[in-house]
Amino acid sequence: MDAKLADKIVLEDLSLLIGLDRFRFLRLFKRAVGMTPHAWLLRMRLEKAVALMTANRQMPITEIAHAVGFFDQSHFTRVFRDAYGVTPARF
């Protein structure tokens, strides 16, 4: 799954892959995992970003953001700060 984190992942594509309509997929996913697919994907992307930042302190934040599927560094910074209470640069 790590290899796919950088890809644009769309609910409709996931539901088609599973063979369910998107609303049924959303309900079943949330029931099974406890969060929406979008929230889960953000969590996975942030966990991967933390792993990258920990492993390589010299890796630019923009490169990390793109590597985990954020196409906009400001969006990555905002989501990261909301989750961890600090910006990626201060992590």
From first to last of its 91 residues, the chain has per-residue pLDDT tens of 556 777 788 888 888 888 999 999 999 999 999 999 999 999 999 999 999 999 998 999 999 999 999 999 999 999 999 999 999 999 9
Tell me the domain boundaries of the chain: 2-90
Residue 85 is classified by DSSP as: S
The pTM assigned to this predicted structure is: 0.86
At residue 74's C-alpha, the angle toward residues 1 and 10, to 5°, is 35
- For domain 2-90, give the CATH number: 1.10.10.60
Task: Give the torsion sign (CA, 66, 68, 72, 77).
Answer: negative
Residue 67 to residue 6: CA distance in whole angstroms: 5
3-state secondary structure of 30: helix
